[in-house]
Amino acid sequence: MVTKLDESEVNLYQYHNDPDSLYGDMRVVLSQKFFESYDGADYKEISHTYEEIEKSPRLAFWFVLRMIKQPFKELESIISKDAKFAYMYAHEVLKGEFPEGEEAIASSAMESYYYASVVLDKRFEKGEANLMKDRSVIWRRHYCNRFEKELDSCYF
């Protein structure tokens, strides 16, 4: 159980099994709310405040993957704003669909392809319009090859 703290500086080097391998300053400010809400999480690599994490899809994703290690509803709205991290969250954390992140995923041909192929294992219709406009043709070609039998047409 994590000891209740006032909002104060915490030296996280003491929680890491190899502190010499860490880069940067691991003393960070963590709020009381964080410790009360997520008792038992692995705090070995935190290097940002929770307030910073709440503002960045990248930080939110890596925080959930490395620290919480399970789906974390409170940060899903942040993660869902970025195509890359929404896909990675679906693949690495949820291990399945991430409806809240599908709008962002659909905005990227590459992430749409990976989301359809790796996460859904079926067509991702929300992302198809963007895939068919993919100027590099790479992701469209991969997608069409993967789902050829299910698509009405794949034009190049």
E strand intervals along the chain = 8-11, 27-30
**Cα dihedral 144, 147, 150, 156 in deg (nearest 10):** 0
- Angle at which helices 138-147 and 125-132 pack, to 10 degrees? 140
Pair of tokens at residue 83 = 């195509």
Q: Count of CB atoms within 10 A of residue 5's CB?
A: 14
pLDDT in tens, the chain (156 residues): 333 334 444 455 555 556 565 554 444 444 444 444 444 444 444 557 778 888 899 989 988 988 888 999 999 999 999 999 999 999 999 999 999 999 999 999 999 999 999 999 999 999 998 888 888 788 888 898 888 877 766 764
